[in-house]
Structure 1
Amino acid sequence: MSPEEFRKHGKQVIDWIADYLASVESHPVRSPVGPGDIRRALPSHPPEHGEPFEHTLADLDRVLLPGITHWQHPRFFAYFPANASGPAILGDLLSSGLGVQGMLWATSPAATELETVVVDWLAELLDLPRRFRTDEAGGGVIQDSASSASLVALLAARQRAGAGRHTLYVSSQTHSSLERAGRIAGLGAGDVRAVEVDPDTLAMDPDRLAALLERDRADGAVPTLVCATIGTTATTAIDPVARIGEVCRQHGVWLHVDAAYAGVAAVCPELRWINDGVAAYADSYVTNPHKWLLTNFDCSVLWLADRAPLIDALSALPEYLRNPATSSGEVIDYRDWQLPLGRRFRALKLWAVLRWYGAEGLRAHIRDGIALADEFADLVAADPRFEVSDHHPFGLVCFRPRYPELSTEDANAATMALVERLNDSGELYLTHAVVGGRTVLRLAVGGPATQRRHVHQAWEAIRAAVS
């Protein structure tokens, strides 16, 4: 493809994306296709000869679009938001166009140094501690996901802890990626320890944590990492980071804070209470701009208070990677901060977002999502056929229909049947969670296209489905 052909087809692609975003509301939110439908609609063998690019775009419309679940749809309320925005899309396009492989400072100095700038900017916007900045002992790095970030944090914690039988501490509400990280890092199944939670708040119990740490150390284990969560996946419960941090410090254990969804809310000064205890105790902290901060997937930022254990755990320098800049010790080589050697120029899209929206625009987006979630919760609370969780400080509301005549098991089955009917309608998309043995519906607000009318439309569809 020549530069002129690229210019022609590139304009077609930009027009296609712009048209898609403008008309996304016309599509069913969740794809209606069945297993294998897309594969059967595509040729069984690759083309022998090249085809015009228009054919690719035609099949995008004809074959692939029906199989897309539309995460940017204004009535997509499932999981957590996976924001995409114009500046982020364009930043990703620039990254693809440059084709940078940013494994070393030397392989593209701008890729590394822009990343250090944007992670420091974001740390400032979230009011994170000074030691997380790249000109201090710690620093930040863009990972593909919080799952990867938590794994490398565990590897750094294991490096700092030294030899022995390492143990990892989570709760029933901690994201499953922490358990997977333990398996990947070689911990035995019994060495991933589940700390009990408060039955009302679902927050990790620091006293139970302390008792587990003491017992494990007495049994010869090496307590290695505790994960505290700010905004759990199921219900956005918040662990008491400060109290957990005190316990970790007393026992010499690494404290990792998983704020994958909710951490970006701290761009708003009135929400910075969520980070109480982070400055004093956190050894590592992760949040995902690709969830709620208008930056398309994948973009997860991990900060460390001290980067040395991470680099010690992951650094390897074969001869073919040796270069004067690395040998000088004056540069950051982000290959030592992640699992893969290669890395994309992800900083461009986050840079584009921060510059386009500014702090003011980012705060407005977060506040709008919270206000709409609050309004939805009020609508649910006003209907006696439903009950709603009192805990909804962010954009997620958990609720369920009341089935007083049914057993818990039957009520759970009825709730699951309800969510499937709603999702099959194509009008909205919700997910569920199980809290205290009871199935609840989750409605997560935060998409950039979602407006007040979409939230009210969702509520009317939910009400009608239980009539």
Structure 2
Amino acid sequence: MIMMDWLAKAMGLPDHFLSTSENGGGVIHTTACESTLFTLFVARDHLRLKSDTGSQNGHSTVSSSAINVSSMVAYGSKLAHSGVEKACLMGAVQYHPVGYDDNYSMRGHLLEKEIEADIEKGLTPFFVVATLGTIHCCSFDNLKELGEVCEKWGLWLHVDAAYAGSAFICPETRHLLAGIELVQSFNFNPHKWLQVQFDCSALWIKDRQKLDTVLHLDPIYLQHSKQDEIVDFRHWQIPLGRRFRSLKLWFVLRSFGVTGLQKWIRGTMDLAEYFADLITKSEHFELFRPRSMGLVCFRAKGSNDQNRALLKSLNEGREIHLIPAEIDDTYFLRLAICSTQTTQKDLDDVLNLMLRHLQKL
């Protein structure tokens, strides 16, 4: 609880996510996929277990007894991680991906259009995943607009910031958190970009009472004399047992300090900008979109097939390893700066290596 409060404060998250607040708190999961599945379960069953009927936030709702899981709908960007759709499959709910604007951002009006259409079909919207730092190209959904739509219709808004969330330790990036006060849960992976060993996925909940409503199972063999005095994290996760993940988070925060981690994050973004400049100046390569955080999305000037062949050649060469993505029928390569050992010379070498492999095609 102390570590999660330290981390929340370092990232500038709202006080209502702190364990010292009236209802909030944080827990460490294994991965962002687990946190998405967990919050989907909570949102789904909390809605179904509601005893009240009538109206919610000015809009008509159905009684809990009439809600069938198969009619419930969750939403995420078409660029959301596959873990969102997987959570919906495991939760037996429908998943309706939402489009994006020219900046690859899911916007409020696009979400609301889907919600209204589904309600007309007799479906029950209940859960939205906003991505801050999409896996394809590190784009950012419009959190404020999505939050306002979710508040209007009474939907749970979960944030998946698995990769890019680490950057919020730097104040200059926090404009991307505009609307965070409207979020029900927020998750990112310190094990991706914040120097913490795998696995360590940080999840904060705005209202922990909803966990007690949905997941509080209390058989006699799990009861103990202090259960009314402490936060019992078996209600905050899928398994009962827990690893002591907060210890490695403590070591990183105490070793680097907030200023040290800020310096590290800024340094990796500077290196990514350096590589983006190399791509821009090259006559053989081009950026797919401007550098975002520590990620550079680029491609060889040519066809998708040529870029596929280049990636195959590079990865088979085993000197570097790149992962591709494809958006709107454009195939591109991705380079993320995550290592403490990366230098500008390494990035010069990467460009020269790619040129050599390109010439062989």
Q: Does residue 1:195 correspond to 2:88, yes or no?
A: no
Q: What CA deviation, in whole Å up to 9, does each residue of 1:248-269 have, x standing for no partner? A: 1111111111101001101111
Q: Aligned partners of 1:465 and 1:119: how far apart in 2?
A: 45
Q: Aligned partners of 1:427 and 1:400: how far apart in 2?
A: 18
1:159–1:309 contact (8 Å) kept in structure 2? no
Q: What CA deviation, in whole Å up to 9, does each residue of 1:258-282 have, x standing for no partner? A: 1010011011111111211112x11
Q: Aligned partners of 1:395 and 1:248: how far apart in 2?
A: 30
Please give the secondary structure, in 2, of the residue aligned with 1:303.
Answer: strand
Q: Aligned partners of 1:356 and 1:384: how far apart in 2?
A: 43
Query: How far off its partner does 1:384 sit?
Result: 2.2
Equivalence for 1:147: 33
Q: Aligned partners of 1:315 and 1:203: how far apart in 2?
A: 36
Gaps of at least 5 residues in structure 1 are 1-115, 404-410
Q: Structure with the greater relative contact order (CA < 8 A, sep ≥ 6): 1 or 2?
A: 1
Query: How far off its partner does 1:383 sit?
Result: 1.1
Counterpart among 236, 239, 246 of residue 337 in structure 1: 236
Please give the secondary structure, in 2, of the residue aligned with 1:212.
Answer: helix
What letter is aligned with 1:313? V
1:258–1:286 contact (8 Å) kept in structure 2? yes
TM-score by length of 2: 0.91
1:152–1:310 contact (8 Å) kept in structure 2? no
Query: How far off its partner does 1:154 sit?
Result: 0.7
TM-score by length of 1: 0.71
What letter is aligned with 1:293? L
Q: Aligned partners of 1:453 and 1:379: how far apart in 2?
A: 12
Q: Does residue 1:305 correspond to 2:202, yes or no?
A: no
- State how many pairs are aligned: 338
1:161–1:222 contact (8 Å) kept in structure 2? no
What letter is aligned with 2:188? T
Q: Does residue 1:415 correspond to 2:299, yes or no?
A: no
Q: Does residue 1:120 correspond to 2:15, yes or no?
A: no
Structure 1 window deviating more from structure 2 (283-292 vs 389-398): it is 389-398
Counterpart among 60, 74, 82 of residue 168 in structure 1: 74
What letter is aligned with 1:193? H
Equivalence for 2:14: 129
Aligned structure 1 segments of 4 or more residues deviating by more than 3 angstroms: none
Counterpart among 433, 436, 444 of residue 325 in structure 2: 433
Please give the secondary structure, in 1, of the residue aligned with 2:235.
Answer: helix
Gaps of at least 5 residues in structure 2 are 49-63
RMSD: 1.2
What letter is aligned with 1:287? F
Equivalence for 2:52: none
Equivalence for 2:186: 285
1:138–1:303 contact (8 Å) kept in structure 2? yes
Task: Give runs of aligned pairs for residues 91-110 of structure 1, distance below 5 A.
Answer: none
Q: Which has the higher strand share?
A: 2
Equivalence for 2:349: 457
Please give the secondary structure, in 2, of the residue aligned with 1:325.
Answer: coil
1:388–1:400 contact (8 Å) kept in structure 2? yes
Equivalence for 2:53: none
Counterpart among 284, 292, 295 of residue 396 in structure 1: 295
Equivalence for 2:256: 357
What letter is aligned with 1:446? C
Seq. identity, %: 38
